[in-house]
Structure 1
């Protein structure tokens, strides 16, 4: 039992609550954060403030009974475990408590050992529920449900990659992880679809469902000879990556000595008319299709995607209900293809923006190097493409600059922001100098973000330490401190440990010990009064705590200091 759990002790008899709290505090191996409530309504107030893991409650109390409280617990914290403690050996109570999901039922006459065993058993049960196997199984199930989305996201990423940047090993791994039926060392046949006009049935809200229906119709009709993966791009467009079924070896021949690639391509081309007619008759949708004229290796998928988009968006492609293949039409001019390849990096501007906002410096610099690499720009369009990249970067950098205007003083070395230099490429002597300028700007932005994070962390830690010093005699539970400084208790505990290198409970105990030593040395207050002043409701527990820490009793320490 390594996890710390929160326990709420509930009884209308204060001496029982305090006695059980003292019992739990003395049983340090349990690693519990202890909370007390002297009525069901007070317990309910605690439960509405913070998550509880275990509730140890009397079953019969004035006002709301323990059984009624249990029903409220289930509504608020379904995973919370309830242990009932009562003086009534009544089978009807036991039966109802178990039916409502309590984990144990203890008679008050059974003594402290029975209480501790029940708590230990409950903590083991909580540990089991949080065990790695259970979490992994749940994660696998969640992954299975998310697979269609993750598959589509990965395919969209492949479509946006610069040519030659896709490795077979990565494809094999990702296809396996995402349970995709595609093969990394097989080429694919790319098919584009555009919905030319929408059905009036269902209005705009029905459009995603209709697109999904087009995907299903197309995939089903092509299924006899292909394995496919389709994704949406834009508001009314779809793209399929098709592979032939069967042996993975390239140029395998059919019985008629025809390459299987040719047969499958002919099949797909021939089925497009039926797909188009099916969408029209069943869905009332007019659709257009553009089919690649050749099988494409994965590393050149983005090139083929751009070729087909050009085919669909120009010439015959701008009509309705068209069926196009690359072999039927003039291919995209080489100059257009070169520009398309060069502009691939522009699609990463949103990723750059996200990295800058989230403070992900390492990933930002990696993407930044790719985006600003001008070596792939065709010489005749180099200046235009550099302008496009530069002003794309201006749009990425402008929001944090406006938010943190003072950072530009560091970059510029002046008193005000030189927006002319920032927003005009020609203000820089060379492309290298311009990129260096943005790199320095990024370094300062990330530096400011990191400094801001550290300042806020230390501000929170200072508040926590001040609260502890001011409330040594009061409630210093993690929940109470979290509420006082405005942070989630679990997050606060991790943050405190991360920043100070010391656990929050250790800091509280150290502050209580220091104050107790001061009061013992400088005052003549009775020891039970000092115990209460530093937050110990039980003097015997204070004695044990003090001796364990200092190897002296409080009285021995006082006498030693007053010699």
Structure 2
């Protein structure tokens, strides 16, 4: 039987609800009725009913305030609000307070009965849900594989003491492995040709298929398998008391996994084999060494089985001081020499590969290259800050690449893009300079002393380069363009003023009126005098 209280400041409503409803028949025990929210809250704190039926508008504490207190401190108590206010705002507040129902008055006894039956059914289902220990146990069993994976990940990544290890092994039903132990990590390189076309569910399927092959190949006595949160596949292989035999076994199993995934799934993985350890508490050392050897994929390429023993036996060669290819590459890019830039990239990558330098040193070189290219973009593509920023952000993609071979391809692609941008920017800059030159000519044409040198100083260009690009952009030489501007202005003055011919000549930049007349006739076919008379006749008509 569920306990219920009624809260309403109208006595007639409370009496009506108490006397017209057979509460027990509907599975409820009415334990009290109250005239305001304050009294009701005290009863809730004392009796903790299962259901509260309350009006909204009441003195001292309204129904929504009461519902707020109940939902905060006793969220399991169901609340039904009765109100005569058909306001959307009230309904919104009720929803936020997780009120079970929001009923508009007046409400009939039959409607109350139906409401109680529905609420009781919901409460019965919730009670059954909470008390179904069998269901809870089933859920726990379903969660065990994931819990086991998280335990094994913690075992190798963080480390546990022997007592906790034994306790967890017993809980998960894992047989205690015999020494020695080695951690093997499988990391998917990429998904091959499907990389660009795979949706998220396709990727999950491919990862599942890879783990299935991983399990089929390695699942045997003395091997514990799991996946990490970074989507790597990890095996703890134990049982050999001879270290060399253990490494031989692990390498063979790793090669099988690599081969089968490539053959059947058509993509590749890189596998790292860590250092052997004698005790389970030392597994983090093996795990970290396996992770560190995976880093050598950056130097050696994908689709490999790499052992810490092999890499420890190869001393790295310090990067030579003359490897300043970041500066040389930026210089080649600025000059637009693609062939030189590509050769520098190839030589730089080859130098890094042969040095077997630590991954940190390789990324330091990459950072220097990225910064140099960023500076080149900043210097040469200043007119479009947004595009410049986008290109700079693209340079950050290097940190997502997994091998130096990918870095080489990516760098060449970036250099092509940057060179194209710089070429476009030079063209834009030249256009701006010619535009400024035209404005300068059209503003200063009356200056008879204006020279080519004056204009070139104004637009910051050499006279030879200016003469070349000015003709390309305008179709005329500087002198032809200047003469055209002056003659056009002379025509306006001849037509619109009564100025003397020698005055007009001086106004458009010619000290010698005779020279002006010769030039004018050459460009228009008639003398200034004939031009004015012709304009006057046409105006008179």
Range class of TM-score, shorter chain = 0.3 to 0.5
Give TM-score, length-normalised by structure 1.
Answer: 0.36
User: TM-score, structure 2 length as denominator?
Assistant: 0.37
